[in-house]
Structure 1
Amino acid sequence: MSVRAFVNRLVLGALGSTALIAASVPASAQGVVNVYTNREPGLYSSTLDEFTKATGIKVNAIFSEQGLSERIKAEGENSPADVLITVDIGRLQEALDLGITQPLKSQALEAAIPAQLRDPEGRWFALSMRARSVYASKDRVKDTAITYEDLADPKWKGKLCTRSFQHQYNIALTAAMILKHGEAKTEEWLKGIKANLAKKPSGGDRDVAKDIMAGVCDIGLGNTYYVGLMTNGTNLDQKKWAEAIHVILPTFQNGGTHVNVSGAALMKHAPNKANAVKLMEYMTSPEAQHVFADVNYEYPVRAGVAINPLIKSFGDLKADPMTISAIGKARAKASELVDKVGVDR
């Protein structure tokens, strides 16, 4: 049975057994681990289910798209949260800034996750990667290679689409550009991006593919995993959007491809710390990493784990060596520059 079939069979049962944290579950309960997450539980519910089977530790999960770090901060010492699982370096940095994490020293995590994909002080660890790629029209764009710097080239004037540049994905890319070239050159790059836009930034990454198919633009920014979700999803329109584009893995000049991460952090007042560490270590095991890669079309952080064939077809990912933590720290300045240039206006 394929991993995807395995997940489809387990997901409903796993969601049923992965209960929401409630007052009836005491913070000091034995044999449990409490997870706060803004990732859809269906993306890794089978992983949690297998963790419970392997360890006997029950996973209680609460899902919310927004506000989890603030909630944990407000709960203070009484918070039942053991682990925060979230997407984007921005949200991981937010957890650090709010002071809700604690450092963790784990040989298993350090062996599985490259140093650039974890906090230097062990306060968060990446679980998966996604690349910020270029979607390009199959009919109108013959380029097979491009740099992020090229996106500001006047050759693309009126041909570029993107979601808001204040969105976390583009803020992280802009922060990475600051680390590569400094603030002044990044500001000029943003001006070039704005000048090349075919329309005001809007929608999401899937809408970029939609606009390319409609002829609104020829190229755009989008995360790699959305192509997998569109291609193999049930929405027939989105399948057509995906069919209209080819994916280019851009690089920085003299650098690699910009990646962002999903990650996990141990909470400051974790009542079940030992179980939390076991869960975090399990989620970087080869088995769990394979599920991440196959179900959500992401890149595993652990070396030697197979990549989904569709994602692999985009070419070999050569991630830029800059540390994700440095990108997190540069986000505030990136947001200021995006606002200063008025990319979204």
Structure 2
Amino acid sequence: MRLHLSLAALTLASAALPAFADQVNIYSHRQPELIQPLLDAFTAETGITTNVAFVDKGMAERLVAEGARSPADLVLTVDIARLKQIVDAGVIQPVTDPVLDANIPETLRDKDGMWFGLTTRARIVYASKDRIKPGEITTYEDLADPKWKGRICIRSGTNDYNIALLGAMIVHHGEDYAKTWAEGVKANLAKKPNGGDRDQIKAIAAGECDIALGNTYYMGQMLSDPETKPTADMVRIDFPVFENGGSHLNISGVALTKSAPNKEAALKLMEWLSSDEAQRIYAEKNHEFPVKDGVPRSELVKSWGEFTPDTVSLTDVAAARPAALKIMEEIDFDN
């Protein structure tokens, strides 16, 4: 049986948790529908139940406030910056596990075992099939060119995904260049930033703009849904690169809390999420890129073609988050 609990309910339930030895309590930045197929499969295979509280904001602060009383065993996050925030808050414990080390590449896990990447996704360009020729957009830097004035859509500039992309721009070119680039992108916007990545695809299909920035897996989700497929079919994925690098990647990841009342079961879930079966589900259900070598991408994702992943350190990208956020606020990107 699966329980999707509110934060308050999960916290209030913590006193009763020892009565249920085979369970894992999860605080998740990830939308429940994205992780439910994985957790259902884990429970079916192991008999260990999972209790999930969706935490959109303030996860680190929540864990700090709860301290040793926290019922949470694991945190699931949507990008490297949020992983770093939780680690910096001192609410995570290191994990040394040969299964995780074998399944997850060294570049996608913390050197001290504080977090482990579970999937990757590229932040790329959505482009109108009718109005943008293939190969017309090749670099992220090009998006600041005035030739795109009035043609770009984007979600909030302070969204974690866009802050991570700007952080990568800082790592590649420095803060001054990144600020000028962000100002250039803002000047090219067709409308005020709003909505999520799916909304940018809809805006292109509706003719409100010609190109947008978004994550690959949102396109996969829309193409897999009969209701949204006609809209998504009007839009193409292009993989731009940094001028001295590749296409920007981010990760979803997992970490073990310092309190972890069900540590043994939580470690089993961490290992399972890195397994062939879990990585296959990530690929087929969520259209994300598996981190485990040998697990193929979904056929839909394969149809988008190959690309060159950027090789800058995700830890460096996360460290640039404060500077990236400051830039977006200084230039008032969303207004």
Could you tell me the TM-score, scaled by structure 1's length? Answer: 0.89
Alpha-carbon displacement from aligned partner over 1:13-60 (angstroms, at most 9, x marks no partner) = xxx434644246324753332222232333233432333344343333
SS of equivalent residue, structure 1 residue 104: coil
Q: Distance in 2 between matches of 1:322 and 1:164?
A: 24
Cα deviation, 1:238-283, whole Å, max 9, x if unaligned, reads 3333121111011111211101111100101112222212210110
Tell me how far 1:339 sits from its aligned partner. Answer: 1.6
Q: Is the 8 A contact 2:128 2:211 kept in 1?
A: yes
Check if 1:218 corresponds to 2:218. Answer: no
Cα deviations by residue, 1:173-213 (Å, 9 ceiling, x for unpaired): 00000001111111111121122112222222122122212
Cα distance, 1:324 vs structure 2 = 1.7
Change (3 A) 1:317 1:280: farther
Measured in 1, the distance between the counterparts of 2:19 and 2:255 equals 19
SS at match of 2:27: strand
Letter of the structure 2 residue corresponding to residue 48 of structure 1: L
SS in 1 for 2:57: coil
Residue in 2 that maps onto 1:175: 167
Residue 99 of structure 1, CA deviation: 1.4
Equivalent position to 2:232, from 207, 221, 242: 242
Whole-angstrom distance in 1 between the partners of 2:197 and 2:42: 32
Contact 1:152 1:193 in 2 (8 A): yes
1:1-345 equivalences in 2 (<5 Å): 16-18=1-3, 20=5, 21=10, 22-23=13-14, 25-27=16-18, 29-144=20-135, 145-234=137-226, 236=227, 238-345=228-335
Partners in 2 of 1:331 and 1:19 — Cα distance?
31
In 2: Cα distance, 1:123 partner to 1:162 partner: 32
Runs of 4+ in 1 over 6 A off after TM superposition: none
The answer to whether the Cα contact below 8 Å between 2:172 and 2:244 also exists between their aligned partners in 1 is: no
Change (3 A) 1:279 1:158: same
Q: Give the direction of change, closer, same or farther, for the CA distance of 1:63–1:25 in structure 2 (3 Å limit).
A: farther
- Deviation per CA, 1:76-111: give whole Å up to 9, x if none: 111121111121223212211221111111222122
Unaligned runs of 5+ in 1: 1-15
Aligned pair count reads: 328
- SS of 2:16's equivalent in the other structure is coil
1:9 match: none
Q: Structure 2: which 5+ runs fail to align?
A: none
CA distance in structure 2 between the partners assigned to 1:320 and 1:160 by the alignment = 23
Deviation at 1:163, TM superposition (A): 1.0
Segment drifting more, 144-153 vs 131-140: 144-153
What is the rounded CA distance, in whole Å, between the counterparts of 1:306 and 1:90 in structure 2? 27
Distance 1:76 1:239 in 2: 45
TM-score, reference length from structure 2: 0.91
**Identical residues among aligned pairs (%):** 48
Moved more, 51-60 or 291-300: 51-60
